[in-house]
Amino acid sequence: MGPRMKDLQLTASAGKGSPEYAGEEERLLGGDDIENYGKVPEKFRRIQVSVTGMTCAACSNSVESALMSIPGVVKASVALLQNKADVTFDPILVKDEDITNAIEDAGFDADILPEPNSSSTKPHGTRVGQFTIGGMTCAACVNSVESILRKLPGVKRATVALATSLGEVEYDPAVISKDEIVNAIEDAGFEASFVQSSEEDKIMLGVIGISSEMDIQMLEGILSNLKGVRQFYFDHTSRDLEVHFDPELLGSRSLIDGIESESHRKFKFLVKNPYARMSSKDLEESSKMFRLFTASLFLSVPVLLMRVVCPRIPLLYSLILWQCGPFQMGDWLKWALVTVVQFGVGKRFYIAAGRALRNGSTNMDVLVALGTSVSYFYSVYALLYGAITGFWSPTYFETSAMLITFVLLGKYLESLAKGKTSDAIRKLVELTPATATLLVQDRGGKIVGEREIDALLIQPGDVLKVLPGAKMPADGLVVWGSSYVNESMVTGESVPVSKEVDSSVIGGTINLHGSLHIQANKVGSNTVLSQIISLVETAQMSKAPIQKFADFIASIFVPVVITLALLTLLGWYLAGVLGAYPTEWLPGNSNHFVFALMFAISVVVIACPCALGLATPTAVMVATGVGANNGVLIKGGDALERAQKIKHVVFDKTGTLTQGKATVTTAKVFSGMDRGEFLTLVASAEASSEHPLAKAILEYARHFHFLDEPNATKDGQSNRMESNFFGWLLDVSDFTAVPGRGVHCFIDGKQILVGNRKLLTENQVAIPSHVEKFVVELEESARTGILVAYDNNLIGVLGVADPLKREAAVVVEGLMKIGVNPIMVTGDNWRTAQAVAKEVGITDVRAEVMPAGKADVIHSFQKGGSVVAMVGDGINDSPALAAADVGMAIGAGTDIAIEAADYVLMRNNLEDVITAIDLSRKTFTRIRLNYIFAMGYNVVAIPVAAGVLYPSLKIKLPPWVAGACMALSSVTVVCSSLLLRRYRKPRLTTILEITVE
């Protein structure tokens, strides 16, 4: 089951956030709109657009007017402060680009924002499909395929990656089907096949038990009647069955069990891993190129030997000079061998060149086909002309043969290099075990047996047994047992993590000690591993802005080279005719035209657009793989390009610089109330809140009430506490959470307030001076003071501390050492914020900032042209993560934060902020070096091939040598990118120049 390429998330959906965290999205849409986001009529689609350049209400009105003037737009609203537009439209009449064009025509910049993720709704209007595309050889091919796809009706977006031979297409299934997309690609002369889409899961099965056409019809009949099966295809040759199904209606194991049951066990199935199949395609491509190369080499070497070696061996030389009909034996042998190479082995170049010309583009295959054809057909002409006239000119069969051989060598080495760049994906695929032990339960939940199943057939809700030393077969929760789990293969964190009942586990991680029973809650495309793989694949397909330059050069490269070759031919020929060089320069029995032609052919074959096309994508591929291995997930080349320019890093405080595990350190009562009664009131008020501070207060109160409970069995104690927990809480009515303030409710008809000074002041509750002094002392010691008022009287204060992460201070210092300015932003009060900032060494602090205001802080730094990164983890950080040039989400944070970010730091370790920046910088240093190799090679090689050095130094490149140089140029670029695989994350001790003894 392939991963979904859209609506990517790495952790379980956190659900609706508490009102305290309502932020920018709520301001833009309103509370009701948040609840109903996406609930538009079936025929309409709703998107959000980032609009920059608005300065006043008149600007927002202009944008709204421009949007409403588009036929098909039914609703448009613009939020000036949030720099966003919310647009509802008919996708049949309006495309995304129509909306952005209208805004840009009004004088503003516009970008479509990702749609909010929801686990309970399906994507509207469009679907994202992934396709394999074969036959692409350079950036010009990529441009051609992208151009064809973007012109198809119903296609919203198309991105094609040369390095992975994959295309990602966003299309409207109501307008165009995936089969029509495949046909369009194949009509253009390329190979294509559908891989997966964003709205369905796919399973590949090897079928055992089919012996006749009747069996096939029986299988198809069963599949047609299974609810949830959307499409299926049976390959008669390989006996493979491909089934696309709705995962909300049908599970993979239910699918197989259903077929086996309906067929009375006639059919048996073997599940095939989709990633393993994609990896096998890489191996097939490498094997195919190696076979073609060895065949060409086997046939070409004798041709080269006849020209270079045989003249020095009298017996062999006399044999090839033996007259056999109109030609010598050597001529017959050369013609026969090279014809097989030219039109047998080299057929792929003619096919690819014809495909490119048919699409109105030119690529490297055009150059190869042109160069080899000129050499071959001139040599044939020279033989026929000699047989007729008796004037024998030299032939250049070896030029054609060796050129094809060297080009195929380059292609083979490229395919090997491309395969190596996918090692990160292969390693992730290999983490998942092949089988799992399913615990069979009766209706009462009692375990009655075990069953070994394929790990790809695990379904949500399955209870699985994991022995010590075994890998977790799926994401889930521990329901029995305790152990330590090594999660380093996913998170990069080397320290084993303790797992108890209700602890979450990640598929592919290793159980170290005790046996565990886990209940699977995420399988297939929803698992962390699958989504990491999907994220890495998506990142490798993305294009960095710098690649636009290479794409432009590639689009004009071949016509320019052909023009230069024609000028070279004309220049040398006219120079010879006019006597500008001596006739001694001409080879034996040659003439000025042939002499000039060889220079022209060398120009054609030495030029290589492949190196330019591979310079960026190969480096991005390696970098995303290296990042994944180091716990840093990168969402694309554009993110890498922005990250290497970061000047400011804005840190959220709670959960980012701090551990996010608030604990109550002080509880002081300022009335005659009993301490236990005070904590009961506060805990009852906070029980309905989702805020982290509320959970800390509840835990503190529970601990106070049950500290002296007798210790029975662990499970018994847990169950008793859970039952007692709700028993001692008081009944609450009219609960309300006030964003940025706290909560208020009624207990026994009396109002209780729990929050900060503003909450109490707004409710006319006086704060005595001695209480204010106590709260100030808390804040100056980096603790947050929570005031409690009951029946309009202040009754007590709680002091809450959130310890700093141990690495926070050294990471801040390390960032300053590498030229990055750290900033802290928090909704906490100034005293607490200043105390925390002082501990970590940050001087620039923005406190008492509401969630939506964090984006404004980022915009203030961006106005100066600086690239700003935001590091956060919560729902309230998502607007800021989206507003920043580079968003970095802590991996343990919420789904929404991860969705909005460009980088995901899986280890929840701030050191990875430095790793992300350092990796980005080194990647783009490598990309620039690749462009120097590619451009420098062509700038130097083409003039040399054209014969610029021949008059003075007698240096010229025979066409077959030019072919060897051309093949090596792209290999040089790929190998340069592969050096990134040696990347090692920077050590803080090195950055800070600390000597460890």
Residue bearing tokens 């940050």: 842
Partners of residue 152 on adjacent β-strands: none
Alpha-carbon Rg of the chain, whole angstroms?
A: 34
DSSP characters over 410-470: HHHHHHHHHHHHTHHHHHHHHHS-SEEEEEEE-TTS-EEEEEEEEGGG--TT-EEEE-TTP
List the structure tokens of 538: 């998506």
Residue 131's SS3 state is strand
What is the distance in angstroms between the CA of the first residue and the CA of the last residue of the chain? 51
Q: For residue 699, give every residue at least 6 positions away whose Cβ sits within 8 Å of its Cβ, in sequence order, or none.
A: 663, 664
Q: Which token pair is 985?
A: 């994350």
Three-state secondary structure along 16-28?
CCCHHHCCHHHHH
Q: In angstroms, what CA-CA distances link 641 with 463, 595, 918?
A: 44, 47, 12
Closest to 6 in 3D by CA, of 362, 674, 526? 526
Tokens 């940025």 correspond to 740
C-beta of residue 523 within 8 angstroms of C-beta of residue 458: yes
d(CA 603, CA 589): 23
Amino acid at residue number 177: S
Give the pair of three-digit tokens for residue 376. 């071959």
What CA–CA distance (Å, rounded) separates 977 from 518? 41
Q: Which residues pair with 886 in a beta bridge?
A: 869
Tell me whether strands 240-245 and 268-272 are parallel, antiparallel or unpaired. Answer: unpaired
The residue with tokens 């607007």 is: 879
Give the whole-angstrom CA distance, residue 460 versus residue 519. Answer: 8
Report CA-CA distances (Å) from 708 to 206, 703, 941. 61, 9, 84
Q: Retrieve residue 893's tokens.
A: 């944070």
Count Cβ atoms below 10 Å from residue 872 Cβ, excluding itself: 30
For residues 485 and 496, give the distance between their C-alpha atoms in angstroms, rounded to a whole number.
5
- Asked whether the beta carbons of 823 and 805 are under 8 A apart, the reply is no
> Cα 30 from chain centroid?
32
Q: Judge whether 421 and 238 are in contact, CB under 8 Å.
A: no
CA separation for the pair 940, 957 (Å, rounded): 12
Q: Any long-range contacts for 830-834 (C-beta under 8 Å, 24+ apart)?
A: 831/776, 831/779, 831/780, 832/778, 832/779, 832/782, 832/783, 832/784, 833/653
Q: Which of 107, 122, 34, 40 is nearest to 73 (CA)?
A: 40
Annotate 799-823 with three-state secondary structure.
Answer: EEECCECCCHHHHHHHHHHCCCEEE
Q: How far apart are CA 872 and CA 652, in angstroms?
A: 5
d(CA 75, CA 456): 44
Return d(Cα 639, Cα 904) in angstroms, integer. 11
Catalytic residue numbers?
652
Helix (H, G, I), strand (E, B) or coil at 90: coil
What's the rounded Cα separation, in Å, for the pair 850 and 121?
A: 29
- Determine the Cα–Cα distance for residues 580 and 577; give it in Å rounded to an integer: 8
CB 5 within 8 A of CB 169: no
For the record, the structure tokens of 817 come out as: 């050492």
